[in-house]
Amino acid sequence: MTYVPKGSTADGPYTLAIDPKRAGWSYAQLRVVELEPGGTHSFTTGESEWIVLPLTGGCTVQTADGIIELLGRDSVFSGVSDFAYVPRDARIQIASGAGGRFALAGAKCERRLPARYGSAPEVPVEHRGSGGCAREVRNFASADAFDCDRLIAVEVITPGGNWSSYPPHKHDEHRPGIEAELEEIYYFEIEAHDGREGFGYQRVFPSREGGTDVLAEVRTGDAVLVPDGWHGPSVAQPGHAMYYLNVMAGPGQEREWRICFHPDHTEGYR
């Protein structure tokens, strides 16, 4: 399973539920839960660390150490959100007075770090690329921005008609100082206009014989798994901005994002 259409992994309260067993790997996982006004959702973190990230709406996140209040946002296209980190081996409750949709980005881990709040104004926002490859990267839980044990997570906004995740790159080998081995999930939302839903495309192609090879048309609620291979570009339909949430984790002793660009696509870029 590489392309994950909306609803195909729905499980109980989750509209999307990707765990290591379902993905066929060891670490990275993602859930999306929708709450009605006044709704609550409780879960046990188990052997994984998690970040509760509002996609729409706000919520409170209750842990054994207290309550973390998240203001959230109107939509993923309206700006950066605050978020909550919750540790492994904990019981968590999410509650939303007005309702909303919330991503739970997770990774199996060893260390139990403290629960804490991530402030939206402190999220590093990077404007990467130029021209038709310009996009906005929100590094809310990148390796150098927020402390986790294994989890790495960022958001990307690609303007309509633009390419992102470009040049194609990979992180499927452990090469110290050059490349880190990371499993990755892309979760997509596409901006709608005048009631018309948009779409995009995601490419993953082999970096080794028999490797992952997919070209998927993606819409809001879809996901693409990247167990290996060159991935990119992510292409947004003209007139419809594309959002994706990247969730990554791997076996390396160091939590780091080191990638290798495809040599046939880098000349003249930037």
Going from N- to C-terminal start, the domains of the chain cover: 3-261
Sequence-distant (6+) residues with CB within 8 A of 195 are none
pLDDT tens track for 188-228: 999 998 889 999 999 999 999 999 999 999 999 999 999 99
Give the per-residue pLDDT at 270: 43
14-25: average pLDDT: 97
For the entire predicted model, the pTM comes to 0.97
| Radius of gyration, alpha carbons of the chain | 18
Tell me, which fold does domain 3-261 have in CATH?
Jelly Rolls (2.60.120)
Is 142 exposed, middle or buried (CB count within 10 Å of its CB: 0-12, 13-18, 19+)?
buried
